[in-house]
Structure 1
Amino acid sequence: MISQLHGTLVEATMSSAVVDVSGVGFELGISGSTAATLPTPGGEVRLYTRMQVREDAMTLFGFASKDERTMFDRLVSVSGVGPRLALAVLSTYTVGQLYSLVMAEDDKGMAKVPGVGKKTAQRLILELKSTFAKDKGFVPVDVIPGQVAMPVPAAAPSAIDDARAALLSMGFSPQETDVALSGYDGQDMRVEDLLGAALKRLGMDA
């Protein structure tokens, strides 16, 4: 079983990441929370993993922390909850927020997760609270007593992300794209301006 991967981040979106480990590229499903912790492509990364094996496929999931991986395990143990819904929950709340939400029996808060209706929210609360009661050793490190769980704001694609995607779609390599966009953070810049500057660096007219 693959417990963790340590290597170089090749590429990432808000739901997946590719990590190069000694020349082998591993594609992993990730939560938005984990995506927010990743370095830029080319950076060193360590992800804790879980593998789902089915008759037609093997899928690897990656997590920024052991606590997030443990919470993922607890979520998929709930009847009717698969990996994709578990990642949606972890993209909406941090591990500590989710733990606090469950212990407070806040089914309305749980129902804010995309794809989770009232009945599913109630089932998640009921089964997770029972699991937490049995597993007293699991208390996420980011739990704050009395904390009110608020959904994690969805990260909107930045101008730099849009410009990178556009350059890649034009056929430029990831390395060329990173060099062309180096030094820009995308703040207060339009995608068109970034593309124009990048294309000039690449020796092309905007």
Structure 2
Amino acid sequence: MIGRITGTLLETQPPWLVVDVNGVGYEMEASMTTLVALPGAGERVSLYTHLTVRDDAHLLYAFAREQERALFRALIKVNGIGPKLALAILSGMDEDAFIRCVMEDDVKALTRLPGVGKKTAERLVIEMRDRFPHWQHPDSLPLEGNTQPSTPVSGKTALADAEAALVSLGYKPTEASRMLSGLEDEGSTEAMIKAALARRMAG
């Protein structure tokens, strides 16, 4: 089991990132919560990881905080929640927000997440309620190196990358385009996606 990786961030292409560890590039998938916390390319990072072994692939998932990984592992134990949907949930809200939704039976907020219908939201509330007493006060664990946002790319490129990332999280292309409308000035791809997700969760 690969539990943690420390190395140099080579590139991010949401929802993917690549970290070089002694000449070996580890490709990992991450939530937008983790991706927006990453420093720029060339900086050193230390990430918690979860390895999923399938017949056709070994998939590695990366997390900025141990609590986010713990929540991911709990989510994929819920019937009907796979790694892709778990990452979509973690991209739309952080651990504290998710805990509040579950403890307050806020099904409506959960259904704003891509791929989460009313029945799935109700299942999450029921099955997750007793699974995270030790996450009530998650501590932020800073990434190593510079925590400044990634260097912005051209507006059109960043917008296209942001739209592709939202689609990969489960949003329909038309919905992703609508979520990003007017956010061209946010700068980096990660900043656009974060702003789009915040807009979607707000309503």
Q: TM-score, normalised by structure 2?
A: 0.69
Q: Secondary structure of the equivalent of 1:137?
A: helix
1:3 aligns with 2:3: yes
Q: What 5-or-longer segments of structure 2 have no aligned partner?
A: 141-151, 161-183, 188-203
**Which aligned segments of 4 or more residues in structure 1 are displaced greater than 4 angstroms?**
161-166, 186-189
Highest CA radius of gyration, 1 or 2?
1
Indicate conservation of the 8 Å contact 1:16/1:27, yes or no: yes
User: Which residue pairs with 1:64 in the alignment?
Assistant: 64
- Which whole-Å CA distance do the structure 1 matches of 2:76 and 2:4 have between them? 19
What aligned pairs does 1:1-206 form with structure 2 within 5 A after superposition?
1-132=1-132, 136-141=133-138, 159-160=153-154, 162=156
Aligned-pair identity in percent equals 41
Indicate conservation of the 8 Å contact 1:19/1:27, yes or no: yes
Change in CA separation of 1:70 and 1:50 when aligned onto 2, cut-off 3 Å: same
- Which whole-Å CA distance do the structure 1 matches of 2:12 and 2:119 have between them? 33
- Which whole-Å CA distance do the structure 1 matches of 2:54 and 2:110 have between them? 28
Change in CA separation of 1:26 and 1:18 when aligned onto 2, cut-off 3 Å: same
2:134 maps to a residue whose letter is G
- Which whole-Å CA distance do the structure 1 matches of 2:155 and 2:61 have between them? 23
Q: Secondary structure of the equivalent of 2:135?
A: coil
Aligned alpha-carbon RMSD (Å): 2.7
- Which whole-Å CA distance do the structure 2 matches of 1:38 and 1:32 have between them? 10
Q: Secondary structure of the equivalent of 1:131?
A: coil
User: Which residue pairs with 2:194 in the alignment?
Assistant: none
Q: What 5-or-longer segments of structure 1 have no aligned partner?
A: 144-157, 167-185, 190-206
Aligned-pair distance for 1:62?
0.2
Aligned-pair distance for 1:138?
3.0
Q: Deviations over 1:63-111 (max 9, x none)?
A: 0000100010111010010000000000000111111111111111110
Indicate conservation of the 8 Å contact 2:155/2:185, yes or no: no
2:27 maps to a residue whose letter is E
